[in-house]
Amino acid sequence: MALRGHPDQLSRRQMIGWARDTAAPDTPVSVFVSVDGRVVGRCLADRPRADLVRAGIGHGRYGFDFAFPDGALPALARCTIAVRREGDGAMLPGSPRSLDPIAAFDEDLQERLACALAEPVDEIELDRQLAFLLDQAQQLRRARVEPHGEGTERQSRPRALVIDSVMPSAERDDRTGLLAGLGRRLSCRVNKLIPMLLKR
């Protein structure tokens, strides 16, 4: 029995694809999914796919959408995911697929973290989770303030807030325009003093 299909989309949440038995096109194909050789679930490829109809592949009801159970995928290791047909174990074309370990704070990781924190826990576990999150938040704040170790030097410098009767001015108050503004004010004063000195 010839097996057609493909695992089109793969993420840490789900695998979407299609499978069709050309010898029995009206019978949905049952497939099972394995991660590194360990079976983690099964599903039936019977979902309608408009793209398959447009491509002339039968009635198009050959799609599957498999949701990975919690803990099925290793977070910090590369894994191999295979889709096979039930009964004879025939490999779906385009399978197996590889999935890289989590290396960024992407949407998948955010969703998994949110789900983990949404689980009901007792007060001791809640305190442990809060302590962990607060510690991570402090580390992120330090990393943002001190991207290359420069924050410590900046924080060690004395700072002062000076309030006077002059209206705020970008040229006067910002660091880049401070010297330029001071020079212009001195120049104006000198220009006023020169005529007075010449009259004497």
Is residue 68 within 8 Å of residue 40, measured between CB atoms?
yes
In this predicted structure, what is the pLDDT of residue 121?
A: 80
- Tell me which residue range forms the domain holding 174: 170-199
Residue 164 lies in a domain: no
- Structure token pair of residue 172: 């006067």
Q: Tell me the pLDDT of the chain (200 aa) as tens digits.
A: 689 999 999 988 899 999 999 999 999 999 999 999 999 999 999 999 999 999 999 999 999 999 999 888 887 788 999 999 999 999 999 999 998 887 767 777 777 777 777 888 888 888 888 888 888 888 888 877 775 555 444 555 566 555 555 555 555 555 445 455 555 555 555 455 555 555 55
Would the pTM of this model clear 0.95, i.e. be above it? no
In this predicted structure, what is the pLDDT of residue 127?
A: 85
The answer on 36 and 12 residing in a single domain is yes
**What is the per-residue burial (b if ≥16 Cβ within 10 Å, else e) of 104-118?**
eeeeeeeebeeeeee
Residue 160 lies in a domain: no
The answer on 93 and 74 residing in a single domain is yes
Max Cα separation, the chain? 115
The answer on 86 and 25 residing in a single domain is yes
The answer on 80 and 63 residing in a single domain is yes
- Structure token pair of residue 65: 């959408």
**What is the rounded CA–CA span in Å between residue 173 and residue 198?**
34
In this predicted structure, what is the pLDDT of residue 47?
A: 96
The answer on 112 and 69 residing in a single domain is no
Number of domains in the chain: 3
- From residue 137, give the alpha-carbon distance in Å to each of 116, 117, 122: 17, 15, 22
Is residue 5 within 8 Å of residue 81, measured between CB atoms?
no
The answer on 20 and 69 residing in a single domain is yes
The answer on 113 and 40 residing in a single domain is no
Residue 157 lies in a domain: no
The answer on 177 and 114 residing in a single domain is no
In this predicted structure, what is the pLDDT of residue 176?
A: 46
The answer on 82 and 8 residing in a single domain is yes
E strand segments, the chain? 3-10, 14-21, 29-35, 38-45, 47-48, 61-67, 79-85, 97-99
**What is the per-residue burial (b if ≥16 Cβ within 10 Å, else e) of 134-153?**
eeeeeeeeeeeeeeeeeeee
The answer on 78 and 12 residing in a single domain is yes
In this predicted structure, what is the pLDDT of residue 73?
A: 86
The answer on 112 and 95 residing in a single domain is no
**What is the rounded CA–CA span in Å between residue 15 and residue 7?**
7
The answer on 111 and 95 residing in a single domain is no
